[in-house]
Amino acid sequence: MAGFPRIWRLCSHVSSLFGIVAVLAAAPAQATTLRAVLNSGLRALDPVVNTSVVTNVHAMMIYDQLLGQDAKGEIRPQMASWATSPDGKTYRFTLREGLRFHDGSPVTSEDCIASIKRWGQVDTMGQVLMKMLAGMRAIDEREFELSLTQANDLILEALAKTGSRPAVIMPRRLAETPPSQAVAENVGSGPFRMVMPEFRPGVRAVYVRNTDYVPRREPLDGSAGGKQALVERVEFVAMPDQMTALNALVNGEVDFLESVPYDLLPMLDGNRAVKIDVLNKEGNWTMFRMNFLHPPFDNRLLRQAAMLSVRQQDVLNALVGDPKYYRTCPAVFGCGLPYESQYGSDFVVSGNLAKAKALLKDAGYQGAPVVILQPSDNPFASSQPLVIAQALRRTGFNVQVQTMDWQSLTARRANDGPPAGGGWSIFVTFSALGDQSDPIRSLFVAAAGKKSWFGWPDVPEIEELRTKFALASDKSERRSIAGQINKLAIDEGLVAPLGQYVYPSAYSGKLSDVPAYPRPVFWNIKKAD
């Protein structure tokens, strides 16, 4: 027993030593450094080449856009204001004063034109815009014009869009890079500058406040208004393990988590130092895609039978669990968005097993295998295929689930051969709702056969309507066309919506004024000492 106090004293000394070392280790931390953990590590830096969320978040840090979109969806000036000619065919943009790239050069009309040209070659909305474009010309250093072949205000929406592939402005020397190649430097004119020497792909990206940035005077509203860098430094820290990320937030080692897995949320119960908030109010949606080229889903009746087999509630329970974070929705262009439609809510949402079985019989289904691809490594797409498989089996389909990683799935879905020869019948995907919010942005409703997105539906009527939508100059006309496309997409089985969901973000109580925005942005966030 006499040895016990000695051991205790030793433990005490060791613990003191650890304490001192921990304090020393923490010493270099700065109060105005904001450390954020995003859903994946940043590797690719060019937002025109790469459409991932993390690259988009990076783009919003260092680049700026000509136009912004407020929380109500209205288009507002950002880098530039605009004036429209009386015939609605010409748009004149005027850059605001004091805009400079991070390399010190001024932002000019030529930079804007080159950036729009590069972006327009690959972005879905940009491609539509390019088709309508009669010409672009610089009037002087700060003014330039875009002329259209016919009156259309889609140009404003396209230039203001903030989802995947935003029309960011970069110096002309970089914007002349082909859009299939990443730019060699990352020079924007946004509120933060990237610190390239500290960039470690997939590990850490560091940004510092752009002291030359002159924000707009209006208050920040969506991507419109004054974007201000109110912390000196922002670090994106990649953490592959979400439990570790949560522990790091609780311990004060990081300040912001883009998302917290639903099942880890109870760990934050009662923790007053951490705030939980749904910042992305639009959220994501998920759907399944069928292969139009091969049996059984080359048959419209069987596609409808498959859609009628699945109940959205079952899928969302498996994917999300807590009803607070999901909602059922039959719309192809999202619920709560401008082109919402409730068409098919009586069967897309709730399913109808009896009707599905009847359709299977009417179609003369002979047991052709339904090959469903399941990506086991992707938490946003791994549970849905299992629920769908069970639902289809209940209806009477002969289902084979093939499990693989997400990368294998992305290669496999490009195979347009028959399911038995390395092809597929169904795969599940997910996307930010904003990226699918109209018939131009949404690749899922493209229906030009082999030129379309995987699944290769060929419905000429939809393609005609998409062209009409792009050319329509009136909002109510667009709404009407979108409604028709929505109906056709459901009836033909182009898209089988599985519902939409939001995810909670978590951040330190030291942060304030964290903007609610579809993707994490670090403008105007304050951090207390």
Partner 1 sequence: MAFYILRRILAIVPTCLAVAVIVFAILRLTPGDPATVLAGDMATPEQLAQIRAALGVDQPIHLQFVFWIGRLLQGDLGISLISQVPVTQLILDRSGPTLALAISTIVSSVVVAVPLGVAAARFRHSWLDRGLMGFSVLGFSVPVFLKGYLLVLLFAVGLRWLPVQGYTAPADSMAGFATALVLPTIALSLSYIALIARITRSSVLEIIREDYIRTARAKGVGERLVLFRHALRNAAVPILTVIGIGIATLISGVVVTESVFNLPGLGRLVVESVLARDYPVVQGLILVFAMVCILINLMVDLLYCVFDPRISY
Residues in touch with partner 1 (CB under 8 A)? 15, 18-19, 21-22, 24-28, 41, 43-45, 49-52, 122, 164, 178-182, 200-204, 237-241, 243-245, 247-248, 250-251, 253, 377, 404-408, 410-412, 414, 429, 431, 435, 443, 450-454
**Least distance (Å) from partner 1 to the CB of residue 526?**
24
CB 485 within 8 A of CB 462: yes
Cβ proximity to partner 1, 311 vs 441, nearer residue = 441
Q: CB count, 10 Å around CB of 97?
A: 8
**Least distance (Å) from partner 1 to the CB of residue 158?**
16
Determine the distance from the C-alpha atom of residue 255 to the mean position of all C-alpha atoms in its chain, rounded to a whole number: 22
Query: Residue 169, by phi and psi: left (phi above 0), alpha (psi -120 to 50) or beta?
Result: beta
Rounded to an integer, what distance in angstroms lies between the CA atom of residue 43 and that of residue 14?
Answer: 40
Cβ proximity to partner 1, 246 vs 485, nearer residue = 246
**Least distance (Å) from partner 1 to the CB of residue 148?**
24
Cβ proximity to partner 1, 98 vs 178, nearer residue = 178
Cβ proximity to partner 1, 343 vs 453, nearer residue = 453
DSSP state of 282: S
Q: What residues form DSSP beta bridges with 513?
A: none
Task: Reply yes or no: is the peptide bond before residue 385 cis, omega within 30 of 0.
Answer: no
Q: Give the SS3 label for residue 256.
A: strand
Cβ proximity to partner 1, 325 vs 456, nearer residue = 456
**Least distance (Å) from partner 1 to the CB of residue 13?**
13
**Least distance (Å) from partner 1 to the CB of residue 118?**
13
**Least distance (Å) from partner 1 to the CB of residue 174?**
14
**Least distance (Å) from partner 1 to the CB of residue 43?**
5
What DSSP assignment string belongs to 395-447? Answer: HT-EEEEEEE-HHHHHHHTT--S-GGGT--SEEEEEEEGGGGSSTTT-GGG--
**Least distance (Å) from partner 1 to the CB of residue 244?**
5
**For 503, phi and psi rounded to 5 degrees?**
-130, 145
**Least distance (Å) from partner 1 to the CB of residue 85?**
33
Cβ proximity to partner 1, 312 vs 431, nearer residue = 431
Rounded to an integer, what distance in angstroms lies between the CA atom of residue 299 and that of residue 277?
Answer: 44
Rounded to an integer, what distance in angstroms lies between the CA atom of residue 81 and that of residue 103?
Answer: 24
**Least distance (Å) from partner 1 to the CB of residue 235?**
11
CB 328 within 8 A of CB 316: yes
Q: CB count, 10 Å around CB of 221?
A: 16
Cβ proximity to partner 1, 145 vs 435, nearer residue = 435
Cβ proximity to partner 1, 76 vs 165, nearer residue = 165
Cβ proximity to partner 1, 282 vs 435, nearer residue = 435
Cβ proximity to partner 1, 103 vs 405, nearer residue = 405
Rounded to an integer, what distance in angstroms lies between the CA atom of residue 123 and that of residue 444?
Answer: 14
What DSSP assignment string belongs to 150-209? Answer: S--SHHHHHHH--SSS--B---HHHHTS-TTS--SS----SSEEE-GGG-BTTTEEEEEE
- Measured CA distances, 214 to 118, 348, 458 (Å): 26, 49, 49
